[in-house]
Structure formats: C-alpha cells, structure tokens
Amino acid sequence: MKNGQLRFEYFLTKSEELLVKSSKQKNPGLWLYQNNARTPLFMLEGLAKLYSGIHNKKKFEKLKAHFKLLEDTIGQIDYYDAFAKEFLANKKIPAVITNYLQAQSREKIQSLNEILTEKEWLGADNFRIKKIRKKLSKADWEDEKDDIKSIEEFYFTAINKILEFINQRDFRFTNVENDVHEFRRMLRWLSIYPQALRGCIQLGKSKTAAPKFLSKYLTKAITTSPYNVMPDAGGNTYFLLFDQKRFFALSWLIAELGNLKDNGLRVEVMKEAILQTSKTTEQDALAKAYKLAGAGQKTIPQVLSAAGKMCNTFCKEKNLESLITGVAAAKN
C-alpha cells in the first residue's frame, strides 16, 4: 500500500473495531458516542475531503459523504447532550429546557442507529467497511514525493478559499452558524489534516526572527497543548513543513472562535428550547434566553463583532499565507 491508502486504513481499522463492539450493545449509537467514535470518523472525513481535491474526486466525495453523515450525527448528539449537562448543573435553568435538550439528544441517537443499520455499518460481515476498502484499493495513489507536493498544492487552494470567504464578508459576520462557525470550521480543517496524515506534516522554526505580533498568540495553553504536537514522522521520507509560530497562531484563533461560537450557541439552543416548549415569539424567547444565560453572556451582535475584529487582525498579519514553509526530504 502507498502512504495515502495506509492513512485511510489506519483510521478505518480504528472505526471498524468500534463498530464491531457497538454491534454487540443494546444501543450501538449511544455506545459509539460515548466511546469517541467521532474522532476516527472525523479523520476519515478529513482524508476524503483532502484527497477529493487531489485525485479521484468522484470516488472520494462519495466516501466523504458516508463518513460525514456518521460524524455529523454524532456531532448533533454531542451538541444537545453537552448543553443539557451544562444546564442541568445550573438550577436557574428551568427543567423544561433541559428535558427538551435531552429529548433531542435521544432523537439524534435514534437517527444514528437508523443510519448504522440502513447504510450497513453494523453486522458480522462489515459490509460498509469492506466496500470502502475495495474502493480505496482502486484509487490512483501517488508516490510519496508527488503525494506531498499534491498535499502542499491542496493547502494553498484551501487557504485561498478561506481568504476569499472572509474577504467577501469584509470581516463582518451576521450569523453565528453560517459565518463564525463556518469560518472556524474551514480554519479547523487546516489543523485536522496533519493529524489525519499521520506524520507527513511537521512544524519547523523560521530561519528569520518571528514578527513581534505573533507573541500574543503564544499562550501557555496553546504552546503546551497536545493537539498542537504533530504525529510522529514514522516512516515518512518527505514532509510538508509549517511555520511553528504561525501554526500556534492558527490554533489560538480556532480556540478563541470556538469560545465565541459556544457563547452564541448557548443562547441559540435556549431560544430553540423555549420556542419548542412554550407559546411565545422569537423575540421574547431570545430575551428570556439572555436572562437565563446570566452574567458573562454576550449578545449575538457582540459575538459577531468580536469574531470579526479577531479575524480581521489575524488575516491582516498574513498568518495563513505564511503558514507553509515548503517541502523537505528526510536527512539520511
């Protein structure tokens, strides 16, 4: 197997092991959610997304759709479950809101169970996994050197799309989900691909002095985070290199946008619960949600404004354009 196929096989095996174990449970969907099946599926989705931009686009787009459907559904479970647990610990939040979120979580678990059965992810013969492996065996995998160059070109294209997205909005966000969350999602893929690619992307230090403005991103939480450590180089002999401090800056922005997104979505999910469990207007539901959220809760306009300013600063510093430093071969 060439490197590209081996990367898929690694995460397919992890997913397969979890699926086999889940098939022996009374509630496979719940078990998969509780046992972090989302992570290997996320890696597979990332690999399919990346390779669809390199070769065999139609093949990888179909595979991505399969992985994404499972990963998204687990993500929906997590969305409602996480807020339900948070609100359960807050006595000021009415039980009717928490009950609604718990019900939504159970509904999404049921949806996941239906997908697992309908798409044949479960069962002794591992039909879906076998079919995926067969498709992967017929892909036009490149040799290692060409593969790394293709990954570099893919990154340049992805970065250009991100810059186009933010420039079209002129750094003015109008919606938490469609703007802030979407922009963060696009950025986050840049940091997920290295984990999925298993060692062929590494961090390097710039030969020139780093600009002083980067220091604000180099917090202890970022520089010591295990998520900012690249996978071991393993048997790779060619590498795509990232500027370490620019990568840390990217991680900082992803984390901060995540905090803002969660702050905004907290109000949105409360509003949803209020609207679905009482007769009220959207405006009144939003006002009640703000009141229940308490001190520290930003308004949606405040979330959008803060996110826009943050992204404006980051992009004007050309951090994305300076992320990639080139391709290198392993030293003998």
Distance CA 64, CA 136 (A): 12
**Tens digits of per-residue pLDDT, 112-153?**
999 999 999 997 777 999 999 999 999 999 999 999 999 999
C-alpha distances (whole Å) from 216 to each of 183, 228, 249, 296, 313 are: 21, 17, 8, 23, 12
- The values of phi and psi at residue 280, to 5°, are -155, 165
Does residue 207 surpass a pLDDT of 80? no
Residues 6+ apart with CB under 8 A from 241: 201, 202, 203, 204, 324, 325, 326, 327, 328
Query: ∠159-162-167 over CA atoms, to 5°?
Result: 125
Distance CA 15, CA 17 (A): 5
Question: CB of 236 within 8 A of CB of 202?
Answer: no
Distance CA 273, CA 265 (A): 12
Distance CA 109, CA 26 (A): 12
Closest by Cα among 210, 288, 278 to 245: 210
Tell me which amino acid residue 91 is: K
* Per-residue confidence band for 4, with pLDDT thresholds at 50, 70 and 90: very high
Among 32-46, 139-153, 294-308, the least confident range: 294-308
Distance CA 162, CA 16 (A): 33
Distance CA 11, CA 288 (A): 44
State the chain's maximal CA–CA distance in angstroms. Answer: 71
* Per-residue confidence band for 294, with pLDDT thresholds at 50, 70 and 90: confident
316 DSSP 8-state letter: H
**What's the rounded mean pLDDT across residues 25-53?**
97
Give the CA radius of gyration of the chain: 22
Does residue 208 surpass a pLDDT of 90? no
Closest by Cα among 183, 156, 151, 134 to 50: 151
**Tens digits of per-residue pLDDT, 51-85?**
999 999 999 999 999 999 999 999 999 999 999 99
Identify the pLDDT of residue 126: 79
**What's the rounded mean pLDDT across residues 32-45?**
97
**What's the rounded mean pLDDT across residues 27-43?**
97
Identify the pLDDT of residue 332: 64
* Per-residue confidence band for 296, with pLDDT thresholds at 50, 70 and 90: confident
Question: CB of 142 within 8 A of CB of 2?
Answer: yes
Question: CB of 38 within 8 A of CB of 74?
Answer: yes
Distance CA 7, CA 151 (A): 13
**Domain ranges across the chain:** 3-137, 144-329
Does residue 37 surpass a pLDDT of 90? yes
Tell me which amino acid residue 144 is: E
- The values of phi and psi at residue 261, to 5°, are -60, -45
**What's the rounded mean pLDDT across residues 165-174?**
92
Distance CA 180, CA 264 (A): 10
**pTM, entire model:** 0.94
Distance CA 105, CA 99 (A): 10
Cross-strand bridge partners of residue 312 = none
* Per-residue confidence band for 306, with pLDDT thresholds at 50, 70 and 90: very high
H or E element that contains 240: strand 238-243
Residues 6+ apart with CB under 8 A from 212: none
| Average predicted confidence (pLDDT) for the chain | 95
Does residue 206 surpass a pLDDT of 80? no
